[in-house]
Amino acid sequence: MEFVAIDFETTGYDCGCTNEPWQLGAVLTRDWEIVETREWFFDVEGAPERAHEADALGTLGSSFETWAPFLLGKRLVAHNLACEKTILTRVAPLTEWGPWVDTLPLAKARYPHLPSYKLGDLCEMFGCVPQMDGRTWHDGLYDAVACAMLAERLSR
């Protein structure tokens, strides 16, 4: 089984602009083993300083050819996939993304009485918190790795 777990970090609406992605983390897994990780940064207004310090690619749309081949034709996994699906559909509305798997409703269906279904809380409960030097929650790559690990845990 192969899939790509993804996570976007976005500017949100706090900066007074549209909700724009500034980071995309992606994790390719085969038979539940992480075989490749990738991350891309995008140069958008309202992005944190670290996005500007990285080798930003321009906008998500202008760099489509750089990051999209890693996702196209793959099963995509995300935690609460509405954000990821909305962003990908907005940037490439005629592109067929997925099939999709959402770890949020999967966790709710499998474990209906948990106190929280946030990605970090689920990973803590199930003992699948990523150990990545210098990274933590709300980092696109870190959250994508966490999502991949959670998907593996939920599949048992």
pLDDT at 15 over 70: no
pLDDT interval class at 54 (50, 70, 90): confident
pLDDT at 19 over 90: no
- pLDDT score at 16: 65
Question: Do 77 and 101 touch, CB atoms closer than 8 A?
Answer: yes
pLDDT at 71 over 90: yes
Question: Do 132 and 142 touch, CB atoms closer than 8 A?
Answer: yes
- pLDDT score at 129: 98
- pLDDT score at 114: 98
pLDDT at 10 over 80: yes
- pLDDT score at 45: 86
- pLDDT score at 106: 97
Count of the separate structural domains present in the chain: 1
What mean pLDDT is predicted for residues 70-86? 97
Q: How far apart are CA 156 and CA 154, in angstroms?
A: 6
* pTM assigned to the model: 0.95
CA 135 vs. chain centroid, Å, equals 14
pLDDT interval class at 53 (50, 70, 90): confident
What range defines the domain where residue 32 resides? 2-154
Token pair in block for residue 114:
């948990």
Tens digit of each residue's pLDDT (9 = 90 or more) over 92-147 = 999 999 999 999 999 999 999 999 999 999 999 999 999 999 999 999 999 999 99
Reduced to 3 states, what is the DSSP secondary structure of residue 42? coil
Task: Provide the CATH number for the domain around residue 123.
Answer: 3.30.420.10
At a CB cut-off of 8 Å and minimum separation 6, what does 4 contact?
Answer: 26, 27, 28, 29, 70, 71, 74, 75, 76, 77
pLDDT interval class at 55 (50, 70, 90): confident
